[in-house]
Amino acid sequence: MSTELNSSTKVEVSTSGGNIANAVLGIVLSSDLDKVCEISDITTKGFYVYKGLPKEKDGKKLLYIGTTIQIPADRFRWHKSNGKDFRFEIIKICKDEKEMLDTEFALIQKYNPRYNKITKRKQNFNKRLSDEEKYGRVGNKEWCQCCLTRRVNKGYKLCYYCG
């Protein structure tokens, strides 16, 4: 498969063997919702943005946009066992978590999928915080002042877990 990005850039993507994630890193094909590869082609962890469509093959209505740093097939299996039995497709493979979360937020704002709960802000990237990052949240009303890891609603100082 070959994709023209502009007049001077041409990207070759081979789906036979090899790691497809390295071949399409950060490239969205002709549309921001086009499938970039088959789920079975990805066997490593990375930064992936995906969409959820109805189970029917002809179903085109966008129901969900999500991200994962897991092997996508593992994440989709979790979704299916927790009530989101959709047909999932990878729509972007990103370089890092910031690009992944920015892409997800932009697509959620643009398409407003029915099953996305958080639509007004970017998702959290769950990772172990450094001491500097944690201490930077002290006094910030957006974060729980007990654990410093969870966001709180306006007017609250503690998250539901700590409170």
2-16 pLDDT, tens digit each: 333 333 333 333 344
Instruction: Tell me which amino acid residue 28 is.
Output: V
pTM confidence score: 0.63
Q: What domains sit in the chain, N to C, each tagged with a CATH number?
A: 2-126 (3.40.1440.10), 128-163 (no CATH)
**pLDDT confidence of 84, banded at 50, 70, 90?**
confident
* The pLDDT of residue 22: 37
Q: How does DSSP assign 86-141, residue by residue?
A: -EEEEEEEESSHHHHHHHHHHHHHHH--TT-S--SSPPP---PPPHHHHHTTTT-T
pLDDT value at 106 more than 80: yes
For residue 21, is it left (φ>0), alpha (ψ between -120 and 50) or beta? alpha
Q: Are 149 and 135 in contact (CB under 8 A)?
A: no
Per-residue model confidence as pLDDT tens digits over 20-72: 443 343 333 347 888 888 888 888 999 999 999 998 877 788 999 999 988 99
CA max distance for the chain: 57
**Residue that is written with structure tokens 């994440």 in the block:** 75
How far is residue 27's CA from residue 91's CA, in Å, rounded to a whole number?
A: 9
Q: What is the pLDDT of residue 34?
A: 87
